[in-house]
Amino acid sequence: MTKEEKIKNFDPNGVAANRNLFGLPFSKMESDLVVMPIPWELTVSYSAGTAKGPDAVRNASWQVDLFDPFYPGGWKHGIFLVDEDLSIKTESARLRKFAEDYIDDLGNGNTNLITQKTINEACEKMVEKVETNCLELLNQGKSIVLLGGDHSIPLGFIKALSKRNESFGILQIDAHADLREAYEGFEYSHASIMYNALKIKEVERLVQVGIRDYCLEEYDRVRYSKGRIVSFYDRDLKHENYKGIRWESQCENIISKLPQKVYVSFDIDGLDPKLCPNTGTPVAGGFESEEVLFLLEKLVLSGRKIIGMDLNEIAPGDDEWDANVGARLLYRMCNLMNFRLEES
CATH of the domain at 112: 3.40.800.10
Taking residues 268-285, what's their average pLDDT?
95
Burial (CB count <10 Å: 0-12, 13-18, 19+), residue 7? middle
Taking residues 12-33, what's their average pLDDT?
93
Return the closest-CA partner of residue 151 out of 97, 182, 188: 188
Burial (CB count <10 Å: 0-12, 13-18, 19+), residue 219? middle
Query: Please, what is the average pLDDT of the chain?
Result: 93
Taking residues 180-191, what's their average pLDDT?
85
Higher pLDDT, 203 or 14: 203
3-state secondary structure of 18: coil
Total domains in the chain come to 1
Return the closest-CA partner of residue 314 out of 61, 113, 13: 61
pLDDT reported for residue 264? 98
Whether pLDDT at 147 is above 80? yes
Taking residues 37-41, what's their average pLDDT?
94
Return the closest-CA partner of residue 336 out of 302, 296, 303: 296
**pTM across the whole model:** 0.95
The answer to whether the beta carbons of residues 178 and 190 sit under 8 Å apart is: yes
Most confident of 41-50, 60-69, 87-96: 60-69
Q: Which residues contact 19 (CB under 8 A, 6 or more apart)?
A: 62
Domain extent, residue 113, equals 3-343
pLDDT reported for residue 318? 86
Q: How many residues does the chain have?
A: 344
Whether pLDDT at 45 is above 70? no
Whether pLDDT at 23 is above 90? yes
Query: What are 317's strand-pairing partners?
Result: none
DSSP characters for 150-213? Answer: STTTTHHHHHHHHTT-S-EEEEEE-SB----SSGGG-TT-TTSHHHHHTTSTTEEEEEEEEE-B
The answer to whether the beta carbons of residues 91 and 126 sit under 8 Å apart is: yes
pLDDT band, very low/low/confident/very high, at 64 (cuts 50, 70, 90): very high
Share of the chain above pLDDT 90, in %: 81
* pLDDT tens readout for residues 88-135: 999 998 888 888 787 776 766 667 777 888 889 999 999 999 999 999
Give the span between the Cα atoms of 267 and 285, in whole angstroms: 14
Whether pLDDT at 62 is above 70? yes
Least confident interval from 180-184, 209-213, 257-261, 277-281: 180-184
Give the span between the Cα atoms of 14 and 277, in whole angstroms: 30
